[in-house]
Structure 1
Amino acid sequence: MTYSNNMNLEQNKKNAVDFYRTAYEGNPAKAVELYVGDEYIQHNPDVANGTQGFIDYFERMQKEYPEKSIAFVRVIAEGDLVALHTHQTWPGNDQYVTMDFFRFDDNGKIVEHWDAIQQIPETSANPNTMY
């Protein structure tokens, strides 16, 4: 598989969104089964390395915060990476902008994850949204 092929980039973008949405909405085991490769390297310090750490984290989030929601604002792909720019809303209207990066293997499966999360403040020094 060559990553210069736009088909692969578009498929990886779709898979990254479907993976994250499936996990976020409460079925991380299915997300792993469908979209993760032979390994899953985790860089978020709040989530244990590997697929079981990912599953445990998202199952706990679904149990504790079932009313959370996510909107995908941007999806960008280059090479073997896909970046997701999301807007998350949690109970009490607690809102976050997240940026997630996923690395795909040669089979189009996710094998590595990085993220950055920033809470949306009530006031801003400028009139622009954070997304």
Structure 2
Amino acid sequence: MTNIEKALALINTFATTDTEKAASLLAEGYIQHNLAFGTGRDAFVGAVQALGAAPVKTTVNNIRAFEDGDKVFLQTVYNFAGAGEQVAFDIFRFDEDGKIAEHWDNLADKAEPNPSRHTQIDGTMEKKDVDKEVTRKVVSAFVGDILRGENPDNITSYFDGDNYIQHNTGIADGLSGLGKALAALAEQGIQMIYNKTYMVLADGNYGLAVSEGTFGGAPTSYYDLFRVEDGKIAEHWDVMETIADKETWANENGKF
């Protein structure tokens, strides 16, 4: 099995409730960064077992899958035990034995289409076989200059005019749509702040940036997936998640 196949097999155990399969894919010292779950292989297997006992079956629908070195990153729609559909990004790190050793994620409720009628998951599916380091460089620079606000005057250099497909639930297409959304937030006194970026993963012409900041003053984890075309940002998907208060954490590994 490839690492992508292993990652997909692991998330599918939520639906199949195959605890033996889950255990076989995980390293014993599995590190969990989802703050709602305990850390370690046994904690993950226990969560799969608990889903098997739920009256409503969990569904798992993977949309996109990527690989970068020892990490696989996925975009997936989950419905855990009938609690409602959630759009998620998952990142899995593999150890030297090919076991899944660490996991990070961000989840948000599935929403209605945005002002341009795009959903959180539709859009371009094709991945181009281009140098991922070029993609990583473009995404890293954009996140730093624009999202972290280090060189905001450079914003137009990252886009091909107003050609920009947006999947954020509240923002319309184009650089113009982004500007209008940010202006509307400012009028409401809401700030979307990116303070630190922990990793930028890339595969072909897709790059995923994992960042920490605040939204409306609340500590927030930002996962932003970008499609890059000819050195420009062409399409964007994201999941924002409020970071839970530390006293509620089920593990001490932290969100990042």
Q: What TM-score does the superposition give when structure 2 sets the normalisation length?
A: 0.42
Q: Please give the secondary structure, in 2, of the residue aligned with 1:37.
A: coil
- Residue by residue, what CA displacement relative to the aligned partner does 1:37-69 show, whole Å, maximum 9, x if unpaired? 352000001111111011233455567456944
Q: Which has the larger radius of gyration?
A: 2
Equivalent of residue 196 in structure 2, options 71, 80, 89: 71
Bigger relative CO (Cα 8 Å, ≥ 6 apart):
1
- Residue by residue, what CA displacement relative to the aligned partner does 1:77-124 show, whole Å, maximum 9, x if unpaired? 0011000011113575x211111000011x121100000011111121
Provide the rounded CA distance (Å) in 2 between the counterparts of 1:118 and 1:30: 27
Structure 1 residue identity aligned to 2:253: N
Q: Are residue 97 (structure 1) and residue 221 (structure 2) matched?
A: yes
Provide the rounded CA distance (Å) in 2 between the counterparts of 1:22 and 1:60: 21
CA contact (8 A) 2:159 2:232 kept: yes
RMSD: 2.8
CA contact (8 A) 2:194 2:211 kept: no
User: Which residue of structure 1 aligns with residue 110 of structure 2?
Assistant: none
Q: 1:23 deviation in Å?
A: 2.5
Q: Please give the secondary structure, in 1, of the residue aligned with 2:145.
A: helix
User: Which residue of structure 2 aligns with residue 54 of structure 1?
Assistant: 178
User: Which residue of structure 2 aligns with residue 18 of structure 1?
Assistant: 141
The 4+ residue runs of structure 1 with deviation greater than 3 A are 26-30, 58-69, 89-92
Structure 2 residue identity aligned to 1:116: V
Q: Please give the secondary structure, in 2, of the residue aligned with 1:30.
A: helix
**Count of equivalent residues:** 124
CA contact (8 A) 1:27 1:59 kept: no
CA contact (8 A) 2:243 2:255 kept: yes
Structure 1 residue identity aligned to 2:174: G
User: Which residue of structure 1 aligns with residue 98 of structure 2?
Assistant: none
CA contact (8 A) 1:28 1:59 kept: no
Sort the Cα spacing of 1:76 and 1:98 in 2 relative to 1 into closer, same or farther, 3 A.
Answer: same
Residues 52-61 or 73-82, more deviating: 52-61
Q: Which has the higher helix share?
A: 1
Q: What TM-score does the superposition give when structure 1 sets the normalisation length?
A: 0.77
Q: Please give the secondary structure, in 1, of the residue aligned with 2:143.
A: helix
Q: Are residue 121 (structure 1) and residue 244 (structure 2) matched?
A: yes
Residues 16-25 or 39-48, more deviating: 16-25
CA contact (8 A) 1:26 1:58 kept: no
CA contact (8 A) 1:23 1:58 kept: no
Task: Return 5+ residue gaps in structure 2 as ranges.
Answer: 1-127
Provide the rounded CA distance (Å) in 1 between the counterparts of 2:191 and 2:244: 23
Residues 111-120 or 11-20, more deviating: 11-20
Equivalent of residue 41 in structure 1, options 165, 171, 175: 165
CA contact (8 A) 1:26 1:59 kept: no
